[in-house]
Amino acid sequence: MPTRSCGPFSAQGTHRRAKFPLPVPTSFSPPLSLAAIDVAVTYPNGLSALRDASFRLDGGTICALVGVNGSGKSTLFKALMGFVTPTTGRVEIDGRPVREAQKQSWVAYVPQAEEVDWTFPVSVHDVVMMGRYGYMNFLRIASTADRAAVETSLRRVGMWDYRDRQIGELSGGQKKRVFVARALAQNGRVILLDEPFTGVDVGTEEAIVTLLRELRDEGRLILVSTHNLGSVPEFCDQVVLINRTVLAYGPTSEVFTAENLTRAFGGALRLFDLAQSTVNDHDGRSVTVLTDDERPLVLGKRGHLEYLDRTGREQLISDREEEQKGKS
Amino acid sequence: MFTFLLAPFHYDYMVTALWTSALIGGVCGLLSGFVTLKGWSLMGDALSHAVVPGVAIAYLLGLPFAVGAFTSGLLAAGAMAFVKMKTPVREDAVIGIVFTAFFALGLLLISLFPSRVDLKGIIFGNILGIATGDVVQVVIVSAVCLLVLALKWRDLMLFCFDPNQARALGLRVGALHVMLLLLLSATAVAALQAVGAMLVVAMLVTPGATAYLLTDRFSVMLRIGAALGALTSFFGAYLSYFLDGATGGCIVSLQTLGFVAALLFAPKHGVFASRRTLRRARAQEAAVP
């Protein structure tokens, strides 16, 4: 019998009764603000990755950091984490330098899958315990509270039953969940996720989104770096658009416009205009598909293929009509 | 028969050589876990060669060899960091340039003063003839390394596995980097006495690589590595008494045998285990219609 609800991942495996009372997640800590103020980063080789980047976010929101490769997106991400020091300008968390926020374990980081050495001999439990280092003493010996936090976090993402697995022996979605659990164990109040949905199955993606919403409702600030445009309006409250600087930031509905996206992506965006359909009669209604990565496969009425290039295919609609008449 | 096998223990110099070897082997084996996982094997090789001019100068000036070796190793590490930062030359090339330069300087110094520095001792090690003063230095270096590792191995593990997480938690990643580099130089200096500059890298890599094949837990890997290092070094020195061969050669050959055994027979990552798993998977596939 499961003794407690395990959130979005509860479908995963069965859960044994906890050995000790689990602490209620220390939620509802006052939301922190995160601000970039005129951040510029110039690398030692003279390459200017970012200039005059400014924005401000408050806790209790999910915000997407959107930009193409080479837009300075990952540089801004690193500056927010304190991994690179801005050449000019500064990043403030709760009005303080990043370094101080780090020492409070406020900043949690969920890395991209490619950044992790999956052959390293550590177990799932070991990895999540790494989120607790900031709460431990000089020798980093885990206390009961640390173990409890690790267990709660692993149960919350449905990975407790996998705690003794070596991390390389997990699926893409499971791997991601382990690192989300580490951010939970750390009780990070600003959680940054780098491309969280790459190599993750749809089920896990939905579960992660549900979990992120819960975390947002606990007052945490969730920042997601992504190039997956389609997923942004689905779960992000706010967007920061980047192309060498911050082009726009604010609520998704205001920022995520075709005009802004074109500015952010320039020619790097594929445009699939369905105003002229190859399979449907043109009725004046219009849908435009934007994608930066892969060509979308678009199927129209009755599962017929839509073609991006319609010249020479004008007769398709009438052909289909004939087919349909013949069948009925 | 027993008297024959116990013969080495009748000589003070052999007893000293045996336990000193075991100590050095243990410390190197412990550190080798970090070296292999951090991908610093080449760095270990470089540092072990780069200490040679320091040793030569220390002997010439009558200073403790460890001081000279350590300084020289750090200068090399600093030079590598400098060249890497200032030029776009790739890291392996930078390491190759710097350590050969140091090693060449060492060889030159030794050849200029052949009567005062023992070339063979530095290159091939001379644990059976180790001087008492050198034993003291080895013990001090080893004790400091063991203490630092005992206190900080979890931080160093995080640094090796996920430096970004270490940084996000406010740990001083630069300091951890330097700490690991210092430990590497220190153990390279100690191992110089046991196996010589040519073979130090084996002591710093092979036990860790062997242990890596045997376990999926980092703490267990460190323990296996240390045990392997200590045992192979002890028995390597012991065997060299009977074989009348180079101690370093004996130790490293034993370590290699251990690695080959693990490569073949490791329960999970060994060649035979992989074949078994593959065969079982195929059998299962065949069973499913």
> Quick one: average pLDDT of B39-43?
92
Contact call for B216 and A166, based on CB within 8 A: yes
Contact call for A134 and B170, based on CB within 8 A: yes
Nearest residue of A to residue B171, measured between CA atoms: A103
Q: Across the interface, which of B154, B155, B216 has its CB nearest the CB of A121?
A: B216
Q: Is the per-residue pLDDT at A283 higher than 70?
A: no
According to DSSP, residue A115 is labeled G
Supply A42's token pair: 């110039």
Collapsing DSSP states into helix, strand and coil, what is residue A109? strand
Question: Mean pLDDT in chain B?
Answer: 91
Lowest mean pLDDT among A56-70, A264-278, B18-32: A264-278
pLDDT of residue A202: 87
Partner residues linked to A92 by β-bridges: A35, A97
Nearest residue of A to residue B152, measured between CA atoms: A139
Question: Mean pLDDT in chain A?
Answer: 83
> Quick one: average pLDDT of A137-152?
94
Interface mutation target, options A34, A133, A141, chain B, most CBs of B under 10 Å: A133
Position A56 in a domain: yes
> What ipTM score was computed for the predicted complex, to two decimals?
0.90
**pLDDT band for position A277 (cuts 50, 70, 90):** low
The whole-angstrom distance between A118's CA and the closest CA on chain B is 9
Q: What is the CATH number of the domain that holds B103?
A: 1.10.3470.10
Contact call for A166 and B170, based on CB within 8 A: no
Q: Is the per-residue pLDDT at A156 higher than 90?
A: yes
**pLDDT band for position A162 (cuts 50, 70, 90):** very high
Contact call for A130 and B158, based on CB within 8 A: yes
A56: burial class by Cβ within 10 Å (0-12, 13-18, 19+)?
Answer: exposed
Q: Identify whether residues A169 and A156 lie together within a single domain.
A: yes
Position A2 in a domain: no
**pLDDT band for position A293 (cuts 50, 70, 90):** low
Nearest residue of A to residue B220, measured between CA atoms: A121
Q: Which residue has the higher pLDDT, A186 or A259?
A: A186
pLDDT of residue A210: 92
Contact call for B218 and A122, based on CB within 8 A: yes
Interface mutation target, options B161, B220, B222, B269, chain A, most CBs of A under 10 Å: B161
A104 contacts in chain B (CB < 8 Å): 170
> Quick one: average pLDDT of A254-283?
73
What are the backbone angles phi and psi of residue A139, rounded to the nearest 5°?
-85, -5
pLDDT tens digit sequence for A310-328 = 667 777 767 777 777 776 6
Contact call for B167 and A81, based on CB within 8 A: yes
Q: Identify whether residues A307 and A294 lie together within a single domain.
A: yes
> Quick one: average pLDDT of B103-131?
86
Query: Rounded to an integer, what distance in angstroms lies between the CA atom of residue A81 and that of residue A107?
Result: 7
**pLDDT band for position B50 (cuts 50, 70, 90):** very high
| A82 near B CB under 8 A | yes
The whole-angstrom distance between A194's CA and the closest CA on chain B is 12
Query: Rounded to an integer, what distance in angstroms lies between the CA atom of residue A192 and that of residue A197?
Result: 13
DSSP A235-291: H-SEEEEESSSEEEEEEHHHH--HHHHHHHHGGG-EEEETTS-SSS---S---EEEE
| A164 near B CB under 8 A | no
B170 contacts in chain A (CB < 8 Å): 99, 102-105, 134
Q: Identify whether residues A218 and A281 lie together within a single domain.
A: no
B158 contacts in chain A (CB < 8 Å): 130, 133
Q: Identify whether residues A304 and A318 lie together within a single domain.
A: yes
Please state the domain count of chain A: 2
> Quick one: average pLDDT of A289-310?
70
| Beta-carbon pairs below 8 A across chains A and B | 70
> Quick one: average pLDDT of A159-166?
96
pTM of this prediction?
0.86
Domain span holding position B124: 2-287
Please name the residues between 87 and 106 in chain A that touch chain B, using a CB distance below 8 Å: 99, 102-105
Q: Identify whether residues A68 and A21 lie together within a single domain.
A: yes
Contact call for B161 and A122, based on CB within 8 A: yes
Largest CA distance in chain B: 79
Interface mutation target, options B165, B171, B219, B268, chain A, most CBs of A under 10 Å: B165
Lowest mean pLDDT among A30-34, A206-210, A286-290, B248-252: A286-290
Q: Identify whether residues A115 and A132 lie together within a single domain.
A: yes
Calculate Rg over the CA atoms of chain B: 21
pLDDT tens digit sequence for B204-244 = 999 999 999 999 999 999 999 999 999 999 999 999 999 98
Position A106 in a domain: yes
Collapsing DSSP states into helix, strand and coil, what is residue A101? helix
Contact call for B169 and A126, based on CB within 8 A: no
pLDDT of residue A263: 83
Q: Identify whether residues A138 and A229 lie together within a single domain.
A: yes
pLDDT tens digit sequence for A65-91 = 998 888 888 899 999 999 999 999 999
Q: Across the interface, which of A102, A126, A139 has its CB nearest the CB of B168?
A: A102
Work out the percent of chain B whose per-residue pLDDT is above 90.
Answer: 67
Q: Among A213, A230, A265, which residue terminates a domain?
A: A265
> Quick one: average pLDDT of B181-188?
92
**pLDDT band for position A288 (cuts 50, 70, 90):** confident
- Comparing C-alpha atoms, which of A252, A291, A242 is closest to residue A78? A242
According to DSSP, residue A169 is labeled G
Q: What residues in chain B have their Cβ under 8 A from chain A's Cβ atoms? A: 37, 85, 151, 154-155, 157-158, 160-162, 164-171, 212, 215-218, 220-221
**Residues 6 or more apart whose Cβ sits within 8 Å of residue B161:** A117, A120, A122, A130, B37
Q: Is the per-residue pLDDT at B43 higher than 50?
A: yes
Collapsing DSSP states into helix, strand and coil, what is residue A13? coil
pLDDT of residue B158: 96
Nearest residue of A to residue B148, measured between CA atoms: A139
Contact call for B154 and A166, based on CB within 8 A: no
Q: Among A265, A294, A318, which residue terminates a domain?
A: A265
Nearest residue of A to residue B269, measured between CA atoms: A119
Domain span holding position A99: 7-265
Nearest residue of B to residue A132, measured between CA atoms: B169
Q: Identify whether residues A261 and A287 lie together within a single domain.
A: no
| A112 near B CB under 8 A | no
Q: What is the CATH number of the domain that holds A66?
A: 3.40.50.300
Interface mutation target, options A109, A124, A162, A192, chain B, most CBs of B under 10 Å: A109
Contact call for A130 and B162, based on CB within 8 A: yes
Q: Identify whether residues A218 and A313 lie together within a single domain.
A: no
Q: Is the per-residue pLDDT at A284 higher than 80?
A: no
pLDDT of residue A320: 72
pLDDT of residue A27: 47
Position A1 in a domain: no
Lowest mean pLDDT among A146-155, B178-187, B260-269, B280-289: B280-289
Position A171 in a domain: yes
Q: Identify whether residues A110 and A240 lie together within a single domain.
A: yes
Give the count of beta carbons closer than 10 Å to the beta carbon of residue B204.
29
Partner residues linked to A166 by β-bridges: A123
The whole-angstrom distance between A57's CA and the closest CA on chain B is 19
Q: Identify whether residues A214 and A76 lie together within a single domain.
A: yes
Task: From residue A91, give the alpha-carbon distance in Å to each of A34, A94, A213, A251, B169.
Answer: 8, 10, 25, 21, 16
Contact call for A81 and B160, based on CB within 8 A: no
Q: Among A265, A285, A303, which residue terminates a domain?
A: A265
Q: Is the per-residue pLDDT at A25 higher than 70?
A: no
Query: Rounded to an integer, what distance in angstroms lies between the CA atom of residue A155 and that of residue A175?
Result: 14
Q: Identify whether residues A78 and A157 lie together within a single domain.
A: yes
What torsion, rounded to 10 degrees, do the Cα atoms B1, B2, B7, B9 define? 170
Please state the domain count of chain B: 1
**pLDDT band for position B120 (cuts 50, 70, 90):** confident
- Comparing C-alpha atoms, which of B15, B37, B73, B61 is closest to residue B197? B73
Nearest residue of B to residue A122, measured between CA atoms: B217
